[in-house]
A = this chain, B = another copy of it.
Amino acid sequence: MARRKKEPQSVHRKNISSAAEQLFFKKGIENTSMNDIAKEAGYSKATLYVYFKNKEELVGVLVLESMQKLYDYIKLALEKSNDTKERYREICYALVKYQEEYPFYFKMVLEKLKVNFESTHFLPEEKETFLIGERINDLLFHFVKDGITCGEIRSDMEILPTIFSFWGMLSGLIQLATNKEEYIEQRMEKSKMEFLSYGFDMLYNSIKMQGEKE
C-alpha cells in the first residue's frame, strides 16, 4: 500500500475527525466503531491511535470543535442587531443551526457533560470545552443584562438561572422538533421551523417586560 505523503499532523487529525464526525452524525457515537472510522477515513485502524489516544479523545476533540462553532454562531447572532427580541431570535436560530450540524454533541451538552469540578483527570479537551462553555455563558449573560438595562427584559429576572433555563428549554424544544418532525407536520400542519418559531416566541414572552407591545 502506498505510503502517505508527508503532511502535517493536523491534516491527518482533520481527516480522521472529519470521517468520525460524518459517521457520528449518521449513526451516533456509540454505534460508530474505530474500525468504521478508519475505513471511512482511509487509514488503518492502528493509525487512528497514532493521532488520537483513544476514542474518547477523538470524541472530545469533536465536541470541543463543535462548542467553538456554537460560540461563534452565538457571537455572530448577537452582532446582527441591537434589538433584544431580534437578538433572541438569532440566538435561537443559531442553536437550531448548531443542532443540525452536530446533533449528537447537542445531546451530549445536555446529557453527558456533567461538569466535574473535582475531577483531577480532566483531559485537556475537557478543560477547554469547559472554558468555552463558560464563555458562551458570558455571552448570554451580557445579552440578558443588556436586555434588562434597556428595559426590554423584565428587571426581576435572575440572570444565571434564566440563562440555564433557556439552555435546557431551547435545547429540549429543538430536539423534540427534530425527532418528532414528521409527527408535528401531520398533526399541526406546521413545518419544523414554524413550530420552533412558535415555541421560541412563546418562551420569549416569559422574560419580556410586561406591558411592552411586541
Which residues of A does B touch, CB under 8 Å? 30, 107, 110-117, 157-158, 160-162, 164-165, 167-180, 182-184, 186-188, 190, 195, 198-199, 202-207, 210
Contact = CB atoms under 8 A, between A and B. Distances in A.
A167 B199 CA distance: 11
Copies of this chain in its oligomeric complex: 4
Given A115-B183, A206-B204, A199 B168 contact: yes
B110 A162 contact: no
A63 B33 CA distance: 27
Contacts of A178: 112
A182 B84 CA distance: 31
A55 B125 CA distance: 35
A169 B174 CA distance: 9
Given A164-B188, A169-B170, A206-B206, 9 more contacts: A113-B179, A161-B198, A164-B195, A165-B198, A167-B176, A168-B176, A169-B172, A172-B172, A172-B173
A173 B173 CA distance: 10
Q: Give the secondary structure class of A's interface.
A: helix
A180 B206 CA distance: 23
Contacts of A110: 172, 175-176, 179
19 contacts: A107-B111, A110-B172, A111-B179, A112-B179, A114-B182, A158-B198, A160-B188, A162-B202, A164-B180, A165-B195, A167-B176, A168-B169, A168-B172, A168-B175, A168-B199, A172-B172, A172-B176, A203-B203, A206-B206
Contact of A184 (B164, B170, B174, B182): B164
A194 to B, nearest CB: 9
Contacts of A172: 110, 168-173, 175-176
Given A170-B172, A187-B160, A165 B114 contact: no
